[in-house]
Amino acid sequence: MGGKDSSKKNSNSSSEPSSSLQSSDHSSSHSDKHVAKKQAKATEKHVQSDNKLDDLNYTSGEQAFTYVNNDHANLKTTDWKYNHVIYSNLDNLNRTSAGNTAYLESRNVANDSLRSTQDVKPTGWHQKFINREAIINRGHEIAYSLSKGISVNGNYEPNLQSGDQNNLKNLFTQTAFSNQKVQTIYESKVRDALRAGKKVIYQVTPVFKGSDLMAHGVHLQALSTDNTLNFNVYLYNVQPGVKFNYADGTSKIDHNMNVPTPAGAPSFSEHRNYNGEHYHRHHYVRDAMIAGAAHHYIKRHYQRKYERHYYHPYHRPYHRHYYGYHRRHHLF
């Protein structure tokens, strides 16, 4: 009883200042959150229709994606009839401009360990390495991880254990940033929905301008049949520190090109747990590392071959007379 009374007295003696302080802190915190929310809202980009996506241009410093139709898919749940993928034919420039639509379920989530090295070169493919990192990837429209059992003709075949690979109708030249830091976020949403037993319609369309060989962006839409998954976004096909010529896919370093990393973007620099999964570096990173190692080996080989001391007679494999003779007679 005495302790209770004393605590009451203490609370009375100090209640007014403390409550006013708490009130002040609370209002300040609430105000800060409100300002931050308004600022975040202000930086968001929206377009109302997907008919004019090829008119969009990226400005350095802006977010790497734009919401389309208030982030609501222009898809119909009633269109999901059976498990398959519609792989559209290439256009007259061999581009995947028509996009692909997948009708997916839980059995389509693929095992990452069955990936193989890819060798397809989509239109606009001009690989370059900056700080030993590839700047472009072979971007899947319908991700490998979402296409287990789907054959190249789009039908589900139970004997196929891997996802889609080396399919010309499903690949386009995509920046490493757009692929690994942005599109992966949305692929994870689809994958999580499938693992939860939902059926999902997922449509991906690279967006080209005119006769450009490299896409300026990629349009993603997804809708689950129970409407719990629903998004509609356009991702800019851009890379920090690089400027692309989308006409042919060539590029040059541009330190003024700033592309903020979106919230929720995964990191593949090391093994890590991400959304309950043990993620390893993506297959396109592995392919890039292999390609980079081969490029380095070939470059070093020719550098050494043409160094002066390799023309010394005692270095017979690289002596100019020996090399000239064998080259003329196609011996190597």
Show pLDDT as tens, one digit a residue, over the chain (332 residues). Answer: 444 444 444 444 444 444 343 444 444 444 544 444 444 444 577 786 677 899 999 999 999 999 999 999 999 999 999 999 999 999 999 999 999 999 999 999 998 777 767 788 999 999 999 999 999 999 999 999 999 999 999 999 999 887 888 899 999 999 999 999 999 999 999 999 999 999 999 999 999 999 999 999 999 999 999 999 999 999 999 999 999 999 999 999 999 999 999 998 987 554 333 333 333 444 444 454 444 554 455 555 555 555 544 444 444 444 444 445 444 444 44
DSSP 112: G
**Which pairing describes strands 136-140 and 65-68: parallel, antiparallel, or unpaired?**
unpaired
202/219 Cα distance (integer angstroms): 11
Residues 6+ away with beta carbon under 8 Å from 274:
266
One-character DSSP codes across 34-60 = HHHHHHHHHH--EES-STTGGG----T
Give the pairing type, strands 230-236 and 65-68.
antiparallel
Under a CB-based contact definition with an 8 Å cutoff, are residues 197 and 106 in contact? Answer: yes
Distances (CA, A) of 156 to 89, 90, 192, 221, 315: 18, 21, 20, 21, 59
User: What contacts 96, CB < 8 A, 6 or more positions away?
Assistant: 88, 90, 122, 141, 168, 169, 170, 171, 172, 206
The torsion angles phi and psi of 172, rounded to 5 degrees, stand at -150, 160
Which DSSP letter does residue 227 get? Answer: S
Nearest to 61 by CA among 267, 225, 321, 259: 259
CA distance 143 to 164: 7
pTM above 0.85, yes or no: no
The structure tokens listed for 1 are 């009883």
Domain 46-281 has CATH 3.40.570.10: yes
Q: Which of 248, 268, 280 is nearest to 177 (CA)?
A: 268
Domain map (residue ranges) of the chain: 46-281, 282-332
Distance of alpha carbon 229 from alpha carbon 3, whole angstroms? 55
Give the other-Cβ count within 10 Å of 174's Cβ: 28
